[in-house]
Amino acid sequence: MLLSKKSVEAGKVCLAEGLPFAIVLVPSSSEPSFFAAISTRSYVSGRIVAGSHFVISRFGKVSPSELIEIGMELSPDEILETYSQRRERSLPLLDDSVSTAFEEHCGRVEQIVASRDDINSKVVLSRRISLSSGRDPFEVAEDYFSLFPDCFRSIYFTVETGLWIVASPEMLLCHDGADNSYKTVSLAGTRAVSDGCWDEKNICEQRLVTDYISNCFRDAGLEPVVGPSENVRFGQIEHRCNAIRSVGSVPPFEVALRLSPTPALCGYPVAEAFEMIESLEDFDRECYGGFIGIVAGPKTELYVNLRSCRCGRSPSNSDRWNYRLFAGGGVNIMSVPRLEWEETERKSSRLRDVIMNGIHK
């Protein structure tokens, strides 16, 4: 098992007690880190925090004070010893929500396409997918995490955000204070795994992200160094990607908050795309499209919250869990509505299948 029995038991107790927690697996690791505390705290720039902590940001341009932190204050043993004998517990609920219909999504794509007059602009349109399952979120997380060992994976809960499961292939920013190095990736464009050449739509979409990140680095006083293009696989789909690096002495969260949300999750120009998202999408993205990560000593590792879902007990059936998934894609003047829908189907298919059916081992 990737998630130890003790960490899962402690996580379930935290969930029932309303205590913030996060179980985290960094890419290529099979050793999870456990974060838990009596309460969350807000990020304060320049504050020195002892030990490690887990950081959460919602979607959109947020201020530093809106970041949520979970310290590594309570161990699984301490949680189980302190709270395991309590009997009055209530699991967080998640209301039933309506999934975005095919016609709705395609209609919104058409509106975006009609509003574009330049291939160098796009809007990342997402849809909501609501599922009900008898599978426990910790079972779902165990199966889902095992499928994507190269992703940043976490199951986390706070009263402010609810319970989330994430397996993200997209780094927002990694910073090492030991040598003042920064690394991020320009990851965008989506297709089924292929040996062929990328089409113009996806090449342009990903180039916008590369240019935006490079400009954010320069605005922060960092000179970006862009690596060669590569393909990054996620299940049966793949994305175009460039690593971007720099060296400097800018606080990492100052850079991260400039970057988020990138055009890969919002669009370009970012402010205009964000306005169109708010006008077209009839739901709150919540944490989807924001970022999560770990700060441990001089190292900061932040990843975009995508390939994710929110979870909660069904209010109408205590034996069922509701899952709220989000999936999106970049829409520009060359987009075809049906193909945009199919892209969101591919992006969400593995998580949907794990929620409903598990994996066969």
Q: How far apart are CA 300 and CA 287, in angstroms?
A: 19
pLDDT at 40 exceeding the cut of 60: yes
Q: CB-based contacts of 252: which residues, under 8 Å, 6+ apart?
A: 173, 175, 182, 300, 302
Place of tokens 């996060």: 22
Q: How far apart are CA 268 and CA 123, in angstroms?
A: 6
Q: For 320-358, how does the pLDDT look when each residue is reduced to its tens digit (9 = 90+)? A: 999 999 999 999 999 999 999 999 999 999 999 999 999
Q: For 274-303, how does the pLDDT look when each residue is reduced to its tens digit (9 = 90+)? A: 999 999 999 999 999 999 999 998 999 999
pLDDT at 87 exceeding the cut of 70: no
Q: For 177-230, how does the pLDDT look when each residue is reduced to its tens digit (9 = 90+)? A: 999 999 999 999 899 999 899 999 999 989 999 999 999 999 999 999 999 999
Q: For 9-25, how does the pLDDT look when each residue is reduced to its tens digit (9 = 90+)? A: 999 999 999 999 999 99
Q: For 229-266, how does the pLDDT look when each residue is reduced to its tens digit (9 = 90+)? A: 999 998 889 999 999 999 999 999 999 999 999 898 99
Distances in Å between the Cα of 296 and the Cα atoms of 35, 95, 174 are 12, 35, 11
Would you state the pLDDT for residue 58?
96
CB 185 within 8 A of CB 329: no
Would you state the pLDDT for residue 13?
94
Would you state the pLDDT for residue 235?
86
